Structure 1
């Protein structure tokens, strides 16, 4: 039986609304320039990647062969050693962060987690779930971790293993913590028991294609990286990618007889469609295509920052960032363009899909609004 006409009309109206809302958001890091219509046939099947993506399973209705290719691509992108990487496609960046901290806890049960005050809100929840001791470190004005405060705090606790939660693109300012500086601090304090997780939710898909390259990956000393698949890459379903050192994952693996696989992931049943989306995007664009998308986003960010400054707005961005920060804007503008605002600051993110005409319309709306001196 089909839907009643009233229900069909409701869906049609909802679709029209979603189209309009999607075209009008500039404040959140989600790519919209994807087209997966070639994959629609796969939605007819219960694709489930339960179990370890690198271990055979008795469950065959999956996309794990594509998931493995996605992980291999990401591992190379993040300069992991060929014989020491493992990973899986997660439900999002927060799950990848939870996994990285989970590995750190199993490796160093007595460890202390250090993270900056600009760290994503989900991390405090993850720390609570894992019952990990933690200390918040000051942030610099640009959102980057305060290395002096980190040095002094770790120095006080140098008898404990150090677990560093590094931000590779903070939520509001896209600031990147420098792993080379962090490792230099740990070296200076002679702390060999260390674990570094990189939260590269947005910038994991950007930083590898930007020169100079940010210090954030395995070659720079991290032990695990989490990146969102629906942000810089693009997916209609939220997802993420977690890549970790294989030797650390082996510590937590256990065999599950009835699925004929290893239990190495956070969730049991896992989405089998999103790995296919990510694989398709990688194959369709390739390294050159991904690099061009990043270059285009950076050009748009420069245009937006300059245009705002010329309009008298105190706009700024971190080096090689696609996030532009400026004083809090009027509610009408925030609502229309769905702009994230916190602590008196608003930001706009020039994802690869952002167009010049959208920025020009946004600037036009700003000029029309006349508010008090604290609000644009």
Structure 2
């Protein structure tokens, strides 16, 4: 490989484009919007280097950054989640980075803290707990995938002398369930656990829920007493088409107090060093360029499509279920033959499809027809009970 001659890569790019276009028809199982395009940013995205290294709140020695735009993005998202004026945040590489930042901040404030999260929460939380060497309690869920708050109360009661870090989920991976954040806060209050942090992982459902609240779905914003941080993804609902996220704290975290690095002239307050200066442009274009009302219409359209999908699937014998707020329709795993054409991630209980803004009735009808054919030849199993806590060996004591 010491001699790498130049080659014509256009055939490869053409092949990737053709494959992506082909797969888009049958890839309706992962949450990623593609309906917003950013041609107006083509020059800045392809011909200018932007590096938002360090804190978004000080420019440092460099000038090739978009930190002013990044601050605007944090403020727009902060306003949507009703964050106070003391808010602090930054644009991340994705929701996992935002959750890691929140857990690291909690560990710095409370070194003996225990993490609590549900069995339906994102798989990365288990990895982050291991990476940060923080004890973890995995909680039961109800049948729809939301955290069992009674189980949380019981686990908290066993460790009232330990600080608690609760990672609530707004939009679980398989069913898009929303944990009852007010009830979580109330459980802490009931046990007088004052050394606590509540972080909301709102990667998928966070923005839709604050844009178009649904009666009966618990609040997930900063008006809930005790919520300390919230993270959302950009590539899921906002169609940035490259992974990113936005982390917002109620108050500045411990990291905000560190001194600047002499070389960069800015404080090292983020998980990463160099950070993309392009993703804030995409986020700002999506948020401010379209405006809030356009995004509310997108939410309503996605929910209507999900309701249609659930109805069509039930019509062909699939036990399809959906939370009222959700873009996700979940069902018992379909026969393996479906995977030959359709992308079908499953866990031990469910398969699903997700009605992001670009999904059409034509796709839903085709999926339902394929499901009907598959279950006729190989009937699927009955739904399994709610996920229970993992083996006690993985649970903190």
TM-score grouping bracket, smaller chain normalisation: over 0.9
1:140 aligns with 2:149: no
Give 1:132 deviation, angstroms: 0.8
**Which aligned pairs between 1:106-255 and structure 2 lie closer than 5 A?**
106-208=108-210, 209-212=212-215, 214-221=218-225, 222-249=227-254, 253-255=258-260
Find the counterpart in structure 2 of residue 373 from structure 1.
379
Is residue 2:348 matched to residue 1:346? no
Say which of 292, 300, 310 aligns to 1:305: 310
After superposition, the C-alpha distances for 1:58-79 in whole angstroms (9 at most, x for unaligned) are 1111111111110000011111
Which of 90, 94, 98 aligns to 1:92? It is 94
Specify every segment of 5 or more residues in structure 2 that has no aligned partner in the other structure, as ranges. 383-397
- Give the Cα separation in 1 of the matches to 2:153 and 2:32: 35
Q: Are 1:168 and 1:198, in contact at CA under 8 Å, matched by a contact in 2? A: yes
Asked if the contact 2:233/2:244 (under 8 Å) is kept, the reply is: yes
Q: Tell me how far 1:178 sits from its aligned partner.
A: 1.0
Count of equivalent residues: 374
Q: Does 1:295 align with 2:300?
A: yes
Shift, 1:214, TM fit: 3.3
- 1:272 corresponds to which residue? 277
Is the contact made by 1:200 and 1:226 (CA closer than 8 Å) also made in structure 2? yes
Q: CA RMSD in A?
A: 1.8
Q: Is 2:78 aligned against 1:72?
A: no
Which stretch has the larger CA shift, 268-277 or 313-322?
313-322
Partner of 1:46: 49
CA distance in 1, matches of 2:101, 2:338: 37
Q: 1:315 aligns with which of 316, 320, 326?
A: 320
Distance 2:253 2:15 in 1: 50
1:129 to partner: Cα distance: 1.2
Q: Tell me the TM-score normalised to structure 2 length.
A: 0.90
| Cα distance, 1:246 vs structure 2 | 3.0
Equivalent residue for 1:23?
25
Q: Distance in 2 between matches of 1:233 and 1:9?
A: 30
Q: Which moved more, 1:327-336 or 1:150-159?
A: 327-336
Deviations 1:25-80 (A, max 9, x none): 11001101121111010121111110111112111111111111100000111111
Q: CA deviation at 1:375?
A: 6.0
Measure how far apart 1:285 and its partner are: 1.5
Against the structure 1 CA distance between its residues 134 and 34, is the aligned structure 2 distance closer, same or farther, given a 3 Å change threshold? same
